Structure 1
Amino acid sequence: MLFNCREEQQKKEVVDTSKTTGKTDEAKSIDVLTEKPDTLAVPDGMVWVPGAVFMKGAVTQDKMAMGHEGPAHQVAVDGFFIDATEVTNAQFKKFVDATDYITVAERKIDWEEMKKQLPEGTPKPHDSIMQPGSLTFKKTKSTVQNLYDFSQWWQWTIGANWKNPKGPGSNLKGKEDHPVVHVSYEDAQAYCDWAGRRLPTEAEWELAARGTTRNTVFFWGDDATKLPQMVNSWEGEFPVKNTLVDGFEGTAPVKSYQQNSVGLYDMAGNVWEWTNDWYNSGYYKDMAGEGEVALNPTGPGTAFNERDPYAKEKVIKGGSFLCSDSYCASYRVSARMATSLDSAQEHLGFRTVATAEMIRDEQSK
């Protein structure tokens, strides 16, 4: 154990923050684990992401950036392992078969729990719609004038879940290598517990998405014309017509698009991905105001959304097959969205991470 710890320390890079902040009078040295410890093997299906000090949040040249993507602030993240792809239907099925797990979208709806997230006095919906299900996407028949009215293309589908992604009558035949969807935060956590992994922090996710690139809008750079070749997103007029320039209308099999600089697939588009961070509207401002480089930040201590004070939400990252340049554009690295813990949707999945310590403990058993 002492040998392993000593070896890992040697693999750390001492980062002089004055080189990245320009503030020599406030410079501090931060030990960041960059290289994978030699004694650890890379777990099957995972990739090592070298640690780094980097700017988290929107870059200055990003004209699509939303207010909650800034101000950008520096963070330091130790190296870690992360799944090369989003968790697939086949992988999730192994978990369900081994544990008999029932996802949130398959369970009877608990009104007493649901109303805790709603304004006091909200009436209970009729029993006919208080049935297990999930949100599914539907195209509109004509141009949408108000892209802030999500109800125009989202619908509650009774019977929709990870096994039946479009509802009753749909199945996973031929989609075993597509990312699993209709999984809530609780479902993703349950899978992680079974697999001996955890969900990434938002900082880890963003570092993994950037790979070795820094200060660019997309994981490949700033050239938006490469989008159809790099990302499974919406091409055409949203949400009326998808021209399928990128080859897919819904989810795509993992590894359908080019990997990023550290070997990760679909860190932009395909499906949104859960992180472990609470969503708090003021978090980025608070972090930037502290003026220090946070080491391995885990997000705010509490959830708060100024637009919905009742919500308890986590941050999701990466965008999905529904993102377009006219709406959402969340295939940008800094893009983020708040999503309630029990939310299960047709375009939301996850991938897992493991630290060097977690793998060392696992391999020593």
Structure 2
Amino acid sequence: MKSCCSVSRENFDDSHEKKVSVQGNATFSQKDMIFLEGGEFLMGTNDSDGFPSDGEGPVRKVVVDPFYIDKYAVTNEQFAQFVEETNYKTEAERFGWSFVFHLFCSEKILRDNPQRVAQVPWWVPVKGAYWNQPEGPGSNIEDRLNHPVVHVSWNDAQAYCEWAGKRLPTEAEWEFAARGGLEQKKYPWGDELIVNGKHRCNIWQGTFPTKNTKRDGYIGTCPVDTYEPNGYGLYNMSGNVWEWCADWFTPKYHLSNENHNPKGAESGTNRSMRGGSYLCHKSYCNRYRLAARSSNTPDSSTGNMGFRCVADA
């Protein structure tokens, strides 16, 4: 089963200076953060919808310590403040391009950027696309300040966390938080995708990748406080944008004997992502479930990848 949402910068032969330092804060603001007491939970899934090759199962008992987590994914407005204070340039800016979903590209953008990745031709490597120009030259975020920032790599997310005095969540922390106190449910609210005719997350409806019926109200990203929060008060833990996690990704994650604050592999080529995005659809990848996992190279950026922060209690 392929992942419709993932496309990597490693498909292209590019290089740039990657090391960028920012001044970090000694303390973090608890504004819009939720304190979670931690504890034991059942991580992963044995469900038939799961992908064993991704390392989703088997279900195992995991314990996480107390931590704080952002109620929302980091917004364009928050990222703009970070950039203003640090003059930080994202990897998309330094590479000079980032991946944009084809339906969001104008005819001119498509003509000017003819290159494609054969396996995922709906992703267009657009010159000039970055967090402040999500669809490339001519686009902006003026009406999307409360939407999640996108076109940020794992390295960019790390830099933001350092500045904010926070960090990225481990996969275990992310899944513990996303479940909202529910045990072994598919989604943050239960097992049914649509409840009483009401959409609970921003994912693809229609025929991927050509027709989105917009039945949940959105084609691209939605504001970070859209839909109802989970049992812990966290928003959009399924859909909207993929969220970077701290861990190196390995499909053998479930084989680890570490069950207290597991941190994934010691090294690797890809970093883990959780939560799915507005491009996820059951017919293709179905990775907006709570146990689902994906990954990408730390320097990759797309129009559907963002992040949220955590902090030690």
TM-score normalised per structure 2:
0.83
Pick from 20, 44, 54: which aligns with 2:41?
54
* Residue in structure 1 matched with residue 131 of structure 2 by the alignment: 162
Could you tell which deviates more after superposition, 321-330 or 247-256?
321-330
Contact 1:228 1:245 (C-alpha < 8 Å) held by counterparts: no
Unpaired runs of 5+ residues, structure 2, are 1-27, 105-116
Match of 1:342, as an amino acid? D
**How many correspondences in the alignment?**
272
- Identity, in percent, stands at 45
**Residue 222 (1) aligns with residue 191 (2):** yes
State the secondary structure of the residue aligned to 1:155: strand
Q: Aligned-pair distance for 1:283?
A: 2.3
TM-score normalised per structure 1:
0.71
State the secondary structure of the residue aligned to 1:299: coil
Contact 1:49 1:211 (C-alpha < 8 Å) held by counterparts: no
**Residue 314 (1) aligns with residue 267 (2):** no
Give the CA RMSD over aligned residues: 1.9
Could you tell which deviates more after superposition, 94-103 or 150-159?
150-159
Contact 1:277 1:300 (C-alpha < 8 Å) held by counterparts: yes
Q: Aligned-pair distance for 1:42?
A: 8.2
Pick from 49, 71, 82: which aligns with 1:63?
49
User: After superposition, where does 1:290-301 map in structure 2 within 5 Å?
Assistant: 290=257, 294-301=259-266
Match of 2:185, as an amino acid? T
Q: Aligned-pair distance for 1:281?
A: 2.2
State the secondary structure of the residue aligned to 1:346: coil
Unpaired runs of 5+ residues, structure 1, are 1-40, 110-131, 141-147, 304-311, 357-365
Q: Aligned-pair distance for 1:201?
A: 0.3
**Residue 210 (1) aligns with residue 179 (2):** yes
State the secondary structure of the residue aligned to 1:215: coil
State the secondary structure of the residue aligned to 1:231: coil
Q: Aligned-pair distance for 1:138?
A: 1.2
* Residue in structure 2 matched with residue 267 of structure 1 by the alignment: 237
Any idea what the Cα deviations from partners look like across 1:28-65, whole Å, max 9, x if unmatched?
xxxxxxxxxxxxx981010112312112112x334244
Please identify which structure carries the higher helix content: 1
User: After superposition, where does 1:77-96 map in structure 2 within 5 Å?
Assistant: 77-96=64-83
Contact 1:202 1:277 (C-alpha < 8 Å) held by counterparts: yes
Contact 2:50 2:292 (C-alpha < 8 Å) held by counterparts: no
Contact 2:193 2:200 (C-alpha < 8 Å) held by counterparts: no
Any idea what the Cα deviations from partners look like across 1:280-337, whole Å, max 9, x if unmatched?
12221x22xx3xx62111111122xxxxxxxx11000000000012122211000110
* Residue in structure 2 matched with residue 6 of structure 1 by the alignment: none
Query: Highest CA radius of gyration, 1 or 2?
Result: 1
State the secondary structure of the residue aligned to 1:81: strand
**Residue 255 (1) aligns with residue 225 (2):** yes
Q: Higher RCO, 1 or 2 (CA under 8 Å, sep at least 6)?
A: 2
State the secondary structure of the residue aligned to 1:176: coil
**Residue 242 (1) aligns with residue 180 (2):** no
Match of 1:222, as an amino acid? D
**Residue 323 (1) aligns with residue 293 (2):** no
CA–CA distance in 2 between the matches of 1:182 and 1:150? Answer: 20
Pick from 72, 75, 88: which aligns with 1:101?
88
CA–CA distance in 2 between the matches of 1:150 and 1:228? Answer: 34
State the secondary structure of the residue aligned to 1:91: helix
* Residue in structure 1 matched with residue 142 of structure 2 by the alignment: 173
* Residue in structure 1 matched with residue 290 of structure 2 by the alignment: 333
